[in-house]
Amino acid sequence: MAKQKDTYDASKIVVLDQLDAVRKRPAMYIGDTSEYGLHHLIVEIVDNAIDEVLAGYGDKVEITLNKDGSFTVKDYGRGIPIDMHKSGKPALEVIMTTLHSGGKFDRKAYKVAGGLHGVGLAVVNALSEKGSVEVRKDGKVYEQEYSRGKPLAGLKQTGTAKDSGTTFTFKPDKDIFGNVTFDFSRLLKRFRQSAFLNAKLTVVVEDKRKDEDRENGTKYLPRLQKYYFENGVKSYIRSINKGEKYINHRIFYAQEETDNVDVEVAIQYIDDLQETILTFANNILNPEGGTHATGFKTAITKSINDYLQQIAGEKEKEIRLTGDDVREGLTAIISIKLPDPQFEGQTKIKLNNPEAASAVRKVVEKNLKMFLEENPKDAKRIIEKNIVTFKARQAAKAAKEAVIRKGALEGSSLPGKLADCQSRDAEKCELFVVEGDSAGGPAKQGRDRKTQAILPLFGKPINSEKYRIDKVIQNEKLKYLIIALGCGIGETLDVSKIRYHKIILMADADVDGAHIVTLYLTFFFRHLKKVIESGYLYVAQPPLYKVEISKDEFYWVKDDEEHENLLRDLKKKGREPKNTQRFKGLGEMNFDQLWDTTMNPETRVLKQITIEDAEEANRTFDVLMGNDVLPRKKFIQTNAKKAELDI
Ligand code: 0RA
């Protein structure tokens, strides 16, 4: 007898030490002590109860938020065992007070482990100022109460029961949690998901708190929610894709156990671009996927390509769909259950078990092949959608290659019109992009040829239909510009290769000139943003007037407003211009005038373009191009979003 008592005392000490450890470092066990940790308490208890349902006992879990700030989770399973443990305490008490109690009573032992932290009842109990458990079993009701994890008294039979199951009530400890108010909507979201992931499980969530004790945003939510989904993850897909245009009307669904991994998958394509793949391991969402996601992706790519080859005509035989092709517009849920889930990192957002990859791959390959063959209409629509995606990707690739072929990269010959400078020191070099040949002449004549290069380009560079990069590149002027810059464009852009650290747009000081500058700024903003960010883009500020007072005294005047101001000032001083020249364009200046006013680093005025300036130009551009943006948007959406072909 004495011996037995000793063991009892010894294990009791260990138990108290453990509770202490949990209360000292709660975050180690439940993630944190704020929102996440607080809600995790309920999730942990509910997942335990769901495991009992998954084991085949009971079909309902009820969750209640009580008036006093506690929560209750009730199931209709077998009831936690209350027989004596070797420590001399009832099994139930051991489970409620011991970390990772192991063996027969550990969740892992009778079914796959659930909760993200999988910490068990004892942790939740230790972090609750009040806890109680009621077991209905063999016609009897047993109860025990706890405070901060310690039993207040032994387990007692308190009545008789007509059914069986377990009911827990816990009140989270204010000393541990900063805020102990549960967010009802957060719980609804989580437990709705639990219901989706466990077909035919009923989850009832009820909020019995007083209005003033409820989270602000949840005041108007119905206080009672019941979730039941006959078709589990298939219903989940229906709910996600609600209101979308379906490609396959019949949702693909498969559930099979292979190599000790239970795999459940549902997929549906919609007429859209995005890919939604949700992966779960033991009812836990893995936001970063992992091995189950990889296995799925491999399988769907292979199955769809195999089927395509099976039905392909001459034209389609050559097509090889990539993973990206087959996942565009795809909604998929992959939910697996496996005995010993391994997660990557602290937050366990990614699954690591290699057996999950092969299991998912096997199940999807086998069943998807069958599905496609048995549903030829849906299969055809899926294949057609994938081929459209494939073609858009090809077009994007072709466009990119065109950029390279046409010499947007370094090494291609410089355009003949470019009057390059002698220096190869990009920091010192300036490229004047000059509108029109007429201005090109004086600019070439007037420049400092050591450091200043001139590229004359004609007229407006882009028009409304030519907004794609492959079109842009077919535009001679912009092609020249890209080649001259030497740093590539779009995906191949490498600013470190740029040949000039000042790119100076030089256009007439009139409306047309402003328009042209807008177009160039838009072009840079959309395809050469880094050039702007590096501070390499400038706009020259050529004068509109030359106002001569005398032979030796004259003024360069930027615009009409400045011109009026000048005339007023002169008048006040009783003076009058001898001669006023208004430049219709840059081409009207002679080379020394152009040098003095616009090109000479000592005397010129340059405006450095910021991203904000370019953004503004970009907006103006859309306005200039009229409201013909709908078909354009449509094109981008349906063809080439991924390739970012839109200018
Ligand atoms: C271990 C064994 C048995 C039931 C349970 C655990 C059990 C655990 C939880 C957790 C929440 N609700 C639960 N319901 C049952 C089977 C015991 C027996 O067959 O007597």
- pLDDT, tens digit (0-9, with 9 covering 90-100), for 92-118: 999 999 886 444 344 443 334 443 344
Q: What pLDDT sits at residue 272? A: 86
What's the CA-to-centroid distance between 396 and ligand 1, angstroms?
58
| pLDDT at residue number 395 | 74
Kind of pairing, strands 150-151 and 128-137? unpaired
State whether the beta carbon of 48 lies less than 6 angstroms from ligand 1. Answer: yes
Whole-number Å distance, alpha carbon 84 to ligand 1 midpoint, is 14
Which CATH fold would you assign to the domain 233-402? Ribosomal Protein S5; domain 2 (3.30.230)
C-alpha to C-alpha distance for 541 and 516, rounded to whole angstroms: 14
Residue 78 Cβ contacting ligand 1 at under 6 Å? yes
- The residue count of the chain comes to 647
pLDDT tens-digit series, residues 497-540: 999 999 999 988 777 788 888 888 988 988 899 999 999 999 99
Instruction: Give the mean model confidence (pLDDT) for residues 549-570.
Output: 87
The per-residue pLDDT of the chain, averaged, comes to 85
**47 CB within 6 A, ligand 1:** no
Q: Which helix or strand (DSSP H or E) is residue 457 part of?
A: strand 452-457
Q: Between 355 and 620, whose confidence is greater? A: 355
| CA atoms of 259 and 55, how far apart (whole Å) | 19
How confident is the model over 162-180, as pLDDT tens digits? 999 999 999 999 999 989 9
Pocket lining: 282 vs ligand 1, CB cutoff 6 Å = no
List, edge to edge, every strand of the sheet that includes 452-457.
452-457, 430-435, 502-506, 537-540, 606-608
- Greater pLDDT, 327 or 522: 327
What spacing in Å lies between the alpha carbon of 104 and ligand 1's midpoint? Answer: 9
Looking at residue 8, its pLDDT comes to 46
**Rounded CA separation 645/628 (Å):** 17
CA of 49 to the centre of ligand 1 (A): 9
Contact criterion met (CB below 8 Å) for 329 and 300: no
Q: Is residue 68 scored above 90 in pLDDT?
A: yes
Cα–Cα distance for residue pair 152/130, rounded to 1 Å: 10
Helix-helix angle 376-405:291-311, to 10 degrees: 100
Please determine, for residue 625, whether its predicted confidence score (pLDDT) is greater than 90.
no
Confidence of residue 345 (pLDDT cuts 50, 70, 90): low
Instruction: Tell me the pLDDT tens digit for each residue of 397-435.
Output: 766 665 554 444 444 567 778 899 999 999 999 999 998
DSSP state for residue 246 in the 8-state scheme = B
pLDDT (mean) for 227-252: 95
* Residues in contact with 263: Cβ distance below 8 Å, sequence separation at least 6, in sequence order: 254, 255, 256, 257, 292, 334, 335, 336, 359, 360, 363, 364
pLDDT for 607:
92
Report the DSSP beta bridge partners of residue 135: 142, 166
The pLDDT of residue 518: 84
Give residue-wise pLDDT tens across range 249-287. Answer: 999 999 999 999 999 999 999 998 889 999 999 888 898
| Ramachandran region, residue 103 (left: φ > 0; alpha: ψ -120 to 50; beta: rest) | left
pLDDT of residue 411: 46
Alpha carbon dihedral 16, 21, 23, 29, in 10-degree steps, equals -120
List 62's β-bridge partners, or say none: 74, 204
Q: Are 502 and 430 in contact (CB under 8 A)?
A: yes
Q: Which residues are known catalytic residues?
A: 435, 508, 510, 512
What per-residue confidence (pLDDT) applies to 462? 56
| Mean pLDDT of the 287-299 span | 96
Which architecture does CATH list for 545-601? 2-Layer Sandwich (3.30)
pLDDT of residue 114: 41
Tokens of 401: 């290659």
Based on C-alpha coordinates, what's the Rg of the chain?
Answer: 37
Fold classification of 18-227 is Heat Shock Protein 90 (3.30.565)
Q: Residue 584 contacts by C-beta under 8 Å, 6 or more apart in sequence?
A: 508, 510
Instruction: Name the residue with higher pLDDT: 103 or 61.
Output: 61
- Cα 346 to chain center, whole Å? 21
Fold designation for 430-541+607-642: Rossmann fold (3.40.50)
Distant-in-sequence, close-in-space partners of 97: CB < 8 Å, separation ≥ 6 = 15, 18, 19, 122, 125, 146, 149, 150, 151
- What are the boundaries of each domain within the chain? 18-227, 233-402, 430-541+607-642, 545-601
Residue 106: CB within 6 Å of ligand 1? no
508 vs 491, higher pLDDT: 508
pLDDT at 28 > cutoff 80: yes
